[in-house]
Amino acid sequence: MASNKLTDIKIKNLKIKEKNYEISDGNSLSILIKKNGSKIWRFRYLRPNTKKANQLSLGEYPLISLAEAREKRDEFKKLLLNGTDPANYKYEEEEQIQKEEKRKFINIFWDWVEDQKLNLDKGEITEGTFRRNKNIIVNHVLIHHDLVNKSVNELIPADFKEYLQPLINQNKTDLVARICQVVGRVFNYAKNLGFVEYNKFENLRFATHRSKNMPTLPPAQLPQILKTINDYPATKQTKLLAYFQLLTLVRPGEAATAKWMDIDLKKSIWTIPANSMKMRREHVVPLSKQAIKILQKMKDITPPDFEYVFINRKYLNDKSKHTSKETVNTMLKRAGFKNKLVAHGFRSIASTILNESLKFHQELIEISLAHVDKNIVRATYNNAQYLEKRFELMGWWGDYVENVSNVSVL
């Protein structure tokens, strides 16, 4: 038969018959038309060592195009000229693909997790350590698919720094250090398996910086901060405003301008309009039981029909005025936190505690803080699935604040 006589039109027009049949394209390539309608490329040849006839499947049309089938046929012809059996080459090629798959960071990590389970069973590590080390990578590294699907041979510390930069910018010193430590252990495991010659990540460290514009304090001092707020002789509204901001993770201005019309107490939802948000994007805040309790307390101490939750009590004759955005900052300064903590610093404290809890994905925490990446569309940002998870996050955070505060405000 003439070489290369098949065309895409001819192949598409090949009819199904009662039995399988084959049409040649010439030069050892043919297509098998099966009675079920599938069309399979075939390559026929004589095995170099035995001279016995053999055939290989090159895949199904149209997934493998006519041009691709001919290209594969020509590749196999070259192998035969060099005395290589394409069947063996194909096996070696598949074996190489499997090896490359095993070298991916994500697969080595899960193998390392299984190895750690053995250490757990032997009593060499605790359940807490095992869970903490696994979750820190799952929550902060595996979410970066481009990174973890690379071979460990290709990865360098700069790759991880690129993806951990948001945490570095937020000065999550302890969290970043622990991620680096566990990544180093995974690469040490890869080294012991022979996947890498040496561990480039053994002493992995990334410097973090502390913002000078928004003073904050270490999360460990939160109980003392809350005690100081409770003991300070400020108005009840000011203290409730501070707690409300802390519990909802919003910015000082967003808390101070909260409107009753935007709050659904039955559904425990506060919808902040775009024009009230720094990022100019509507932000939905799931309200914890502690936040709801504060709102109920504010209803009890606020005259009816006021537009804002936290009113300006100097102008009780004007129901459209809210408290100053600097109210909590002023209280913190007078309570002894000048140049140490500002109201915005509550968000940094909360972010660190939530990240270090290892209970929530970093993306979920960032969304809860209204740190919206321009690539996250609104449908993802406020959809039902994320909202359910954010209710869980806010509930956990509300319980945490209540447990460490041990004060009468809540």
Q: Which are the catalytic amino acids?
A: 251, 278, 344, 347, 371, 381
The two structure tokens encoding residue 391: 């209710």
Angle at which helices 345-357 and 236-248 cross, to 10°: 40
Nearest to 226 by CA among 350, 409, 351: 409
CA 153 vs. chain centroid, Å, equals 24
- Quote the CA–CA distance of 159 and 147 in Å, as a whole number: 7
- DSSP character string of 55-105: EEEEEEETTS-HHHHHHHHHHHHHHHHTT--HHHHHHHHHHHHHHHHHTBH
Q: What is the DSSP letter of 212?
A: S
Cis geometry, peptide bond prior to residue 62 (ω within 30 degrees of 0): yes
**Amino acid occupying residue 246:** L
β-partners of residue 259 are 308
Q: What is the DSSP letter of 376?
A: S
**What are the distances in angstroms from CA 289 to CA 85, 175, 184, 271?**
70, 28, 41, 17
| Spatial CB neighbours of 370, under 8 Å, sequence gap ≥ 6 | 249, 250, 251, 277, 278, 279, 281, 283
Angle at which helices 222-231 and 384-405 cross, to 10°: 70
